[in-house]
Amino acid sequence: MRRLRNVKIVATLGPASDTYDTIRALHQAGADVFRLNMSHGSHEEIAEKHAIIRKVEDDTGSAIAILADLQGPKLRVGVFAGDSEMLDEGAKFRLDLDEKEGDSRRVCLPHPEIFQALDVGKTLLVNDGKIRLKVEACGPDFADCVVTAGGVISNRKGVNVPDVELPLAALSDKDKSDLHFVADLGVDWIALSFVQRAADVEEAKAMIKGRAAVLSKIEKPNAVERFDHILQVSDGIMVARGDLGVELPVQNVPPIQKRLVRKCRHAGKPVIVATQMLESMIESPMPTRAEVSDVATAIYEGADAVMLSAESAAGSYPVEAVTTMDRVAAEVERDPTYTQIIEASRGASRASVADGIVAAAREIAETTDIKAICCFTQSGTTAMLVARERPRVPILALTPLVRTARRMALSWGCNCYVTPTMERFKEAVVGAARAARDGGFADAEDQIVVTAGVPFNVTGTTNILRVAPCDERLIYSTDPE
């Protein structure tokens, strides 16, 4: 299914979008990737959604990526005798390990790791930062705090510790169970929550053993500070702005988003911008102008994908939300300013033969009448390198591996096709010409650029580029091989 834009759309599935008809409608409206939130739903329910997506894929002939988003460690307070309490600014409040019900003076915080890491002067945030507590005294089983921003605190509200590196692994026992389940199920991407260091990503990859690609969620200040190392070991990145906006001053989030997106582009790794993109469409058929501008900003920055969360998972207008995002993306990419911004921010290194091949492909395509860049790829690396160039012409990612085609559905501009296994370069050129014609990217009288690696079917061997006609008779008559 050919899209009229290059940026991809990720739609989260949930109670509002768990049937075949709705999931197919979401895909036809523009969803390229479906996110399964492992915080909600049993393994049986996740497996049902996975099966429906694959059925939609078969019925539409599209390569669809499935992203499983692990929950990560959840830090929460305990319960209150009256279910909730009002904390006034300036009041004293204690957090401790005592499991008895809380009151206006104290509550259980059943996470000894937090107390181990706390120091006097540190801040704890409760309920997405609505309540702020400053530590005045602490020990291995308590923290005496003063309320610096008051409000109602209720049972099991979440806790953030923004300026402390917690001695917690990114993978809880639940996450490990979920990870093995979804990897065996056959998802294409696994999103890792609570990443604080590169070692967290390496631990997850060791467990996954190549069954899926790993996407690191950047949602903590530590992850921002160590981003270069995290990016190096990750297959992709999600800029999770919700938690970033809780743990950092909100004004810091836009420049961080811009920096992270640009670094991902230069590394040739896909990046998703997520959280509250069209939040008002949970209840309204129309977004706010500010939300439309927010989506547009992420696209102007060159993000590979933009993501819907509750809008498509639990909202009243899931298909309309995807349709809106699709239309915004198409309109932005038609803007000449978009092309100027994308090309001005192009700055990838040229460290390998493959880098040079894809850069040449883009330059040839943009300076001559070339209709598409067709890249044959085993692992998807070549397609991602072409996507890094952000060419003005369509990218056709051709692969004999279904899992590679699905994985590439997250990458900017990649139109993914599963092809027969090729043994000779002439076969590849003919296959590329057919794909370009069949997909409506070119006519018989047009030309395309074809990149591939020789020998064929070996990962990491991109070393050949050819400008070829889309007429197979001309291919055979001009190439005696």
Whether residue 285 has a cis bond before it, omega within 30° of 0:
no
Q: Which is nearest to 246 in space by CA: 75, 123, 129?
A: 129
SS3 for 407-423 is HHCCCCCEEEEECCCCC
Domains and CATH numbers, the chain: 8-72+170-335 (3.20.20.60), 84-160 (2.40.33.10), 353-478 (3.40.1380.20)
Residue 167 three-state SS = coil
217 is known as an active-site residue: yes
Segments of 219-260 assigned E as strands:
236-240
Mean pLDDT, rounded, for 34-46: 95
**Separation of alpha carbons 85 and 102, rounded Å:** 9
Residue 171 or residue 462, greater confidence: 171
Strand 370-376 and strand 447-453: the pairing is parallel
Tokens of 443: 């006519």
Q: Give the HSE-up count for residue 418: Cα atoms under 13 Å, Cβ half-sphere.
A: 13
Q: Which residue has the tokens 């389940």?
A: 181
Q: What is the average pLDDT value for the chain, to the nearest integer? A: 93
Instruction: Render pLDDT for 172-226 as a digit per residue (tens, 0 to 9).
Output: 999 999 999 999 999 999 999 999 999 999 999 999 999 999 999 999 999 999 9
Instruction: Render pLDDT for 131-145 as a digit per residue (tens, 0 to 9).
Output: 999 999 999 999 999
Q: Which helix (H) or strand (E) holds 156?
A: none
CA distances to 40, 225, 276, 335 from 124, rounded to whole Å, are: 26, 20, 23, 44
How does 52-86 read in b/e, with b if 16+ C-beta sit within 10 Å?
bbeebbeeeebbbbbbbbbbbbebebbbbeeeebe
Q: Select which of 123, 275, 324, 404 is catalytic.
A: 275
Q: Assess contact for 115 and 142: CB atoms under 8 A.
A: yes
Has residue 105 got a pLDDT over 50? yes
- Measured at the CA of 173, the angle between CA 169 and CA 176, to 5 degrees, comes to 85
Q: Select which of 5, 8, 35, 197 is catalytic.
A: 35
How does 176-195 read in b/e, with b if 16+ C-beta sit within 10 Å?
eebbeebbebebbbbbbbbb
Mean pLDDT, rounded, for 333-362: 88
On the 0-12 / 13-18 / 19+ scale of CB atoms within 10 A, 274 is buried
Has residue 37 got a pLDDT over 50? yes
**Separation of alpha carbons 280 and 285, rounded Å:** 8
Instruction: Render pLDDT for 468-481 as a digit per residue (tens, 0 to 9).
Output: 999 877 776 665 45
Type of residue found at 60: T
Tokens of 13: 């599935």
Q: Which residues pair with 215 in a beta bridge?
A: 191, 236
Has residue 78 got a pLDDT over 80? yes
Q: How long, in residues, is the chain? A: 481
Q: Select which of 74, 76, 92, 327 is catalytic.
A: 76
148 is known as an active-site residue: no
Phi-psi group of 209: left, alpha or beta (phi > 0 → left; psi -120 to 50 → alpha; rest → beta): left
pLDDT computed for residue 478 by the predictor: 63
Instruction: Render pLDDT for 241-299 as a digit per residue (tens, 0 to 9).
Output: 988 999 899 999 999 999 999 999 999 999 999 999 999 999 999 999 999 999 999 99
pLDDT computed for residue 52 by the predictor: 98
pTM to 2 decimal places:
0.93
Torsion 424-429-432-433 (CA) sign: negative
Read off the pLDDT band of 30 (50, 70, 90): very high
35 is known as an active-site residue: yes
- Describe the crossing of helices 289-301 and 336-344 by its angle, rounded to 10 degrees: 40
pLDDT computed for residue 480 by the predictor: 46
Q: Assess contact for 304 and 387: CB atoms under 8 A.
A: yes
pLDDT computed for residue 350 by the predictor: 65
Type of residue found at 390: R
Has residue 156 got a pLDDT over 90? yes
Phi-psi group of 272: left, alpha or beta (phi > 0 → left; psi -120 to 50 → alpha; rest → beta): beta
- Measured at the CA of 192, the angle between CA 172 and CA 128, to 5 degrees, comes to 80
Has residue 38 got a pLDDT over 80? yes
Tokens of 154: 């209720």
**Separation of alpha carbons 376 and 459, rounded Å:** 10
